[in-house]
């Protein structure tokens, strides 16, 4: 049988539809483990697979979505046994008909560190066990689906790629705005999936086909991989106590044609779709040929939430997290003062950096462990992409492995030994790499010599399948205090590299080493380098002279449309005096203008799109805000503890809570609700507030006073649903706002919820559901609560819920996110 990979692009491929809702129709009850039906009701699984095969599906998905060691609580059968049985049932239908069988891998249901308590490696090992079992059982491909966290997707993708030889299709789940649960956008998710060598990528679940149509242009803009889309049959509704979906087979198929028009190569269905939906889809696609794939040649790096594209104005790489010549940072690294590192990162982001360099290399330091810790910690408080800066291959791999996004790696050079060590990692983790133009012979004195090394590096990279677009050449700025002509050599080499079609970078400040008033020389050289086409500069973004040069150049070269960013920064600056603190500066506009060596052709500023505003770090605050306020807003736990203790010296504990902690949390919450901040920053701020609360609580106890709670709230994930990520996030925030939370956990029977509300006489209960098959139990729980606990208000939330559904089941409130729950609680208790 031919591989599914070989058929991509030759014809439209059709996946099957929903499994969970089909099993529910067959009698699956709330609370049952779906995967155990492989043993208890094999005939039902065979009937479902047969129905989809007869409808024309090319790929039959095994009933293994939740089969991993983290998610499965019933130990009657092992994970490999469950997967083997699921694959067997699908293959016995698929193989005789010439169809493929897919191992289905879903999320663990838990958040990964640092947002949650599940380690990256625990998730990786769980997915590895599932992937190996699937391949051994005879799966033809792996489908990783319904992932809402790019880091969990990375763990799953690496596990599948490293432990099997099967093709891997990978799909994420997002909201109608294209945002993942953890804050990532479509470009960031796509860049990550492509960098890790998925064979097809896309989206499934959460939304209907009409909503997913809008995602296709962005998907096509950022990837040249095959696209897979598996929408729901609309959003779930409850009719007569049953979950139903509003999009019928014909409407589903008609909408799917727009997905095909947008470039999808593989189509299928998720929740609510049936064999009838797939039959209509097959009929709609039978005369359709896949659209040609676009060809992209852009150099991109990413964090979990957004991308940075090289080309156009120079990208700024903040250099301050590098211990060379920085005694205070060296001290922090030896003491593992992570808060100091985080403050440096936040300050550089606020000053305008696009990317943060992270280097912790010092003698007598466990660099692999500390670099990994620094990378994880920085990604919890800033959404900027990181440049992982190390020459230690072990530290390099460990940091690349847990990095959430497509990183920039610093660096490789022309030494064969270095290329042999670094390029396998660049290929494996799909990163972009800085290439230093030096080799065994040292740094050439001529531009031609440096370019020759650049060519050698590119040729060697090609042997590993690393494209030229993922190499950024550093032509090495050497101090002019030693060799005055060094700057001219560097600039000439930079122009030559650009003419080869390579992006370039420089450690700009090296040029002025040993000179008085270094910033003046650095700023002048920076301007010359930008004029020569520099793509990225490793600089100190807190340097006024350097940033003045950068803003001025962008205005002159029309990267700053109508000088908007320049005016915004300088309009209130006094004519004489100290420059004001760094203000927002524009982030990359990508391909707005190609700065050619020796001077780019001028264009009308009005013809160039404005650069988007920079990514600001969490809740940068005016100077009048207290140290505690700032520490909580920035998510700095150690600083919050220290600041809380200081505040308590002059302020009563309850006043500290009311006037410093709560306003800081409100500020971050508002940023989260508006989309300016993301889940990692929200949770880190909550953790910082918890650290401060612990100090305040100790002070109250020392004074013989107990905690003052605003009120009691009962939380639960409804019967049959084992996903509690959303509930846990709500719990963290509510506790930080001073509420006592009774957390009943997941898969909670309605009567258990009622009993807890009665016991604590709770005025508010929060219910969560993620699975479409369990939303009916939310209605049952609410009905029972309203009958037995009429004083208790009920708020609901979850990915599959809507305000319309909340109204239908008589919930008192629908909260789209965790901050919505906090806002509603305030109306009940305050």
The contacts of residue 570 (CB under 8 Å, 6+ apart) are 551
Phi and psi at 295, nearest 5°, equal: -115, 120
- Would the annotation count 271 as a binding residue? yes
The contacts of residue 135 (CB under 8 Å, 6+ apart) are 103, 163, 164, 165, 166
H helix or E strand, kind and range, residue 742: strand 740-743
Which residue, among 609, 597, 613, 607, has the nearest Cα to 530 in the 3D structure?
597
Angle at 528 between CA 523 and CA 533, to 5 degrees: 120
Residues 62/104, Cβ–Cβ less than 8 Å = yes
Q: How far apart are CA 69 and CA 484, in angstroms?
A: 63
Q: For the chain, how are helix, strand and coil distributed in percent, rounded to 5?
A: 45, 15, 40
Which residues is 234 bridged to in the sheet? none
Q: CA 589 from chain center: how many Å?
A: 21
Q: Residue 448 corresponds to which tokens in the numbers above? A: 């031609």
Would you list the DSSP string of 302-317?
E-SS-EEEESSSPEEE
H helix or E strand, kind and range, residue 655: helix 653-656
Which residue, among 634, 723, 734, has the nearest Cα to 148 in the 3D structure?
723
DSSP 8-state secondary structure symbol assigned to residue 41: -
Residues 208/232, Cβ–Cβ less than 8 Å = yes
Q: How far apart are CA 798 and CA 750, in angstroms?
A: 17
Which residue, among 754, 692, 745, has the nearest Cα to 717 in the 3D structure?
745
Q: Residue 785 corresponds to which tokens in the numbers above? A: 């609560």
Angle at 200 between CA 195 and CA 203, to 5 degrees: 95
Phi and psi at 266, nearest 5°, equal: -130, 130
In 293-438, alpha helices (H) = 327-335, 338-351, 367-381, 393-402, 416-429
User: Which residue carries 């130990």 as its tokens?
Assistant: 75
User: Which residue carries 């104005």 as its tokens?
Assistant: 313
Q: Residue 271 corresponds to which tokens in the numbers above? A: 């929740």
Interaxial angle between packed helices 662-673 and 725-736, expressed in degrees from 0 to 180 and rounded to the nearest 10: 150
Which residue, among 639, 633, 774, has the nearest Cα to 716 in the 3D structure?
774
Angle at 455 between CA 500 and CA 317, to 5 degrees: 70
Sheet holding 200-204, edge to edge: 13-14, 266-267, 227-230, 200-204, 168-172, 141-147, 100-105, 59-61
User: Which residue carries 């302020």 as its tokens?
Assistant: 651
User: Which residue carries 């359709």 as its tokens?
Assistant: 288
How distant, in Å, are the alpha carbons of 192, 498, 618, 630, 659 from that of 675? 21, 37, 11, 20, 25
Q: How far apart are CA 748 and CA 720, in angstroms?
A: 7
The contacts of residue 825 (CB under 8 Å, 6+ apart) are 711, 713, 734, 737, 739, 764, 795
Q: How far apart are CA 256 and CA 563, in angstroms?
A: 44
Interaxial angle between packed helices 447-463 and 416-429, expressed in degrees from 0 to 180 and rounded to the nearest 10: 50
Q: Residue 388 corresponds to which tokens in the numbers above? A: 């992982």
Going by the annotation, the residues of the binding site are 205, 270-271
Going by the annotation, the residues of the binding site for Zn(2+) are 205, 270-271
């Amino acid at each position: 049988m031919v591989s599914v990979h070989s058929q991509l692009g030759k014809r439209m491929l059709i996946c099957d539809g929903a499994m969970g809702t089909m099993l529910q129709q067959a009698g699956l009850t709330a609370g049952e483990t779906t995967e155990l039906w492989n043993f208890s009701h094999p005939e039902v699984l065979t009937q479902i697979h047969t129905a989809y095969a007869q409808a024309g599906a090319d790929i039959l998905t095994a009933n293994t979505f939740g089969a991993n060691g983290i998610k499965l609580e019933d130990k009657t059968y092992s994970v490999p046994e469950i997967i083997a049985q699921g694959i067997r049932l699908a293959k016995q239908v698929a193989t005789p008909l010439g169809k493929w069988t897919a191992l289905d891998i879903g999320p663990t249901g838990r958040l990964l560190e640092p947002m949650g308590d599940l380690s990256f490696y625990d998730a990786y090992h769980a997915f590895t066990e599932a992937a190996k079992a699937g391949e051994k059982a005879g799966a033809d491909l792996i489908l990783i689906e319904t992932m809402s966290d790019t880091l969990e997707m990375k763990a799953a993708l690496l596990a599948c790629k490293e432990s099997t030889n099967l093709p891997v299709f990978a799909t994420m789940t997002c909201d109608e705005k294209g945002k993942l649960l953890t804050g990532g956008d479509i470009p960031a998710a796509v860049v990550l999936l492509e960098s890790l060598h998925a064979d097809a990528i896309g989206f499934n679940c959460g939304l209907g086909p009409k909503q997913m149509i809008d995602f296709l242009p962005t998907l096509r803009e950022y990837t040249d991989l095959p696209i897979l889309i598996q929408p729901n049959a609309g959003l779930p509704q409850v009719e007569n106590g049953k979950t139903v979906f509003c999009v019928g087979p014909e409407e589903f198929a008609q909408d799917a044609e727009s997905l095909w028009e947008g470039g999808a190569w593989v189509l299928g269905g998720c929740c609510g779709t049936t064999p009838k939906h797939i039959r209509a889809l097959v009929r709609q696609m039978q005369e359709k040929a896949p659209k040609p794939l676009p060809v992209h040649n852009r150099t991109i790096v990413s964090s979990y939430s957004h991308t940075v594209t090289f080309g156009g104005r120079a990208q700024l790489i903040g250099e301050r997290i590098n211990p060379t010549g920085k005694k205070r940072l060296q001290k922090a690294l030896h003491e593992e003062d992570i808060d100091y590192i985080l403050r440096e990162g936040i300050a550089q982001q606020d000053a305008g950096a696009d990317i943060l360099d992270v280097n912790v290399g010092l003698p007598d330091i466990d660099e692999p462990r500390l670099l990994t810790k620094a990378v994880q910690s920085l990604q919890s408080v800033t959404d900027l992409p990181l440049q992982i800066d190390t020459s230690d291959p072990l530290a390099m791999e460990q940091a690349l492995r847990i990095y959430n996004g497509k990183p920039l790696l610093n660096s490789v050079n022309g030494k064969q030994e270095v290329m042999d060590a670094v390029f396998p990692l660049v290929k494996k983790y799909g990163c972009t790499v800085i290439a230093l133009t030096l080799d065994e012979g040292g740094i050439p004195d001529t531009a031609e010599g440096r370019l020759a090394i650049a060519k050698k590096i590119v040729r060697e990279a090609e042997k590993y399948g690393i494209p030229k677009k993922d190499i950024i050449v550093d032509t090495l700025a050497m101090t002019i205090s030693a060799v005055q002509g060094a700057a001219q050599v560097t600039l000439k080499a930079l122009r030559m590299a650009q003419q080869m079609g390579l992006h370039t970078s420089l450690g700009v400040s090296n040029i002025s080493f040993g000179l008085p008033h270094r910033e003046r020389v650095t700023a002048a050289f920076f301007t010359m380098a930008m004029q020569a086409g520099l793509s990225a500069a490793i600089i100190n973004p807190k340097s006024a002279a350097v940033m003045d040069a950068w803003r001025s150049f962008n205005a002159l070269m029309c990267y700053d449309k109508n000088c908007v960013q320049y005016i915004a920064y300088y309009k209130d600056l006094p004519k004489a005096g100290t420059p004001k603190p760094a203000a927002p500066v524009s982030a990359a506009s990508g391909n707005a203008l190609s700065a050619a060596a020796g001077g780019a052709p001028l264009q009308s500023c009005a013809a160039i799109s404005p650069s988007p505003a920079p990514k600001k770090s969490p809740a940068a605050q005016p100077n009048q805000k207290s140290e505690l306020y700032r520490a909580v807003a920035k998510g700095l736990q150690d600083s919050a503890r220290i600041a809380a203790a200081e505040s308590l010296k002059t302020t009563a504990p309850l006043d500290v809570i009311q006037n410093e902690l709560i306003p800081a949390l409100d500020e971050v919450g508002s940023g989260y609700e508006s989309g300016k901040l993301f889940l990692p920053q929200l949770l880190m701020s909550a953790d910082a507030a918890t650290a401060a609360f612990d100090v305040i609580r100790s002070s109250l106890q020392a004074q013989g006073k107990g905690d003052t709670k605003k009120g009691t709230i009962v939380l639960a994930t409804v019967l049959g649903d084992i996903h509690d990520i959303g509930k846990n996030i709500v719990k963290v925030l509510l506790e930080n706002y001073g509420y006592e939370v009774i957390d009943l956990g997941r898969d909670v029977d309605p009567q258990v919820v009622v009993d807890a509300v009665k016991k604590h006489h709770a005025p508010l209960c929060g219910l969560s559901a993620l699975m479409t098959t369990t939303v009916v139990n939310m209605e049952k729980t609410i009905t029972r609560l309203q009958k037995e606990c009429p004083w208790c208000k009920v708020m609901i939330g979850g990915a599959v819920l809507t305000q319309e559904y909340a109204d239908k089941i008589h919930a008192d409130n629908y909260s789209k996110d965790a901050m919505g729950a906090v806002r509603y609680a305030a109306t009940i208790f305050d």
